[in-house]
């Protein structure tokens, strides 16, 4: 049976491995991401911050004592002109291959969204690579709408 719970520092090592796995997959959608072996230390710092900040949360899906999925998010103060004081930002929802398409991603995202609500966030935002059709479909199924286009170019 799968259990969803908030991660703690006790989960750090296994969670860090899952985070790296998710970043390796992300490289298929953005070849400009720096190879994981060159930035792993930064991901360690980010994850420690995610696990220790009042305004960040990490939820994990655990089956038979193993972490098989995660959802990470943070809250930031919005610009007043946007009409929201606090906005939740979903930075990553990831489920290991072999456990996908069983509703775990949705359960993780819903748990994170409930956490955002408990912190008085009134809007949610996230970014998805335009070529990541599975992620686009997943978030649209959760009620997210296409809102803006982030454009990038080298100089």
- pLDDT digit string, tens, across residues 53-68: 999 999 999 999 999 9
The pTM assigned to this predicted structure is 0.91
For residue 43, give the CATH number of its domain: 3.40.630.30
- pLDDT digit string, tens, across residues 119-152: 999 999 999 998 999 999 999 999 999 888 887 8
Residue with the bigger pLDDT between 14 and 82: it is 14
In the DSSP assignment, the letter for residue 82 is G
- Spell out the residues 6+ positions from residue 100 whose beta carbon is closer than 8 angstroms to its own: none
Q: What is the mean pLDDT of residues 10-25?
A: 95
User: Do the bridges between strand 86-95 and strand 123-126 make them parallel or antiparallel, or are there none, so unpaired?
Assistant: parallel
Backbone torsions φ then ψ of 87, nearest 5 degrees:
-120, 135
Residue 154 domain-assigned (yes or no): no
CB 92 within 8 A of CB 60: no
Q: How many domains does the chain have?
A: 1
Asked if the model's pLDDT at residue 33 lies above 90, the reply is: no
Structure tokens belonging to residue 10: 């006790």
**Mean pLDDT for the chain overall:** 92
* CA 13 – CA 126 distance, rounded (Å): 26
């Amino acid at each position: 049976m799968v259990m969803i719970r908030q991660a703690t520092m006790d989960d750090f090592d296994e969670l860090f491995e899952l985070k790296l796995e998710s970043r390796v997959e992300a490289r298929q959608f953005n070849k400009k991401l720096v190879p994981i072996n060159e930035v792993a230390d930064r991901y360690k710092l980010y994850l420690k911050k995610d696990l220790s900040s009042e305004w960040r949360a990490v939820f994990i899906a655990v089956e038979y004592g193993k972490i098989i999925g995660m959802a990470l998010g943070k809250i930031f103060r919005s610009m007043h002109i946007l009409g929201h004081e606090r906005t939740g930002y979903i930075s990553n929802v990831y489920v290991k291959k072999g456990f996908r398409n069983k509703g775990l991603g949705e359960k993780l995202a819903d748990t994170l969204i409930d956490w955002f609500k408990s912190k008085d966030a009134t809007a949610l935002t996230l970014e998805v690579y335009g070529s990541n059709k599975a992620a686009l479909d997943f978030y649209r199924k959760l009620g997210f709408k296409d809102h803006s286009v982030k454009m990038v170019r080298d100089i």
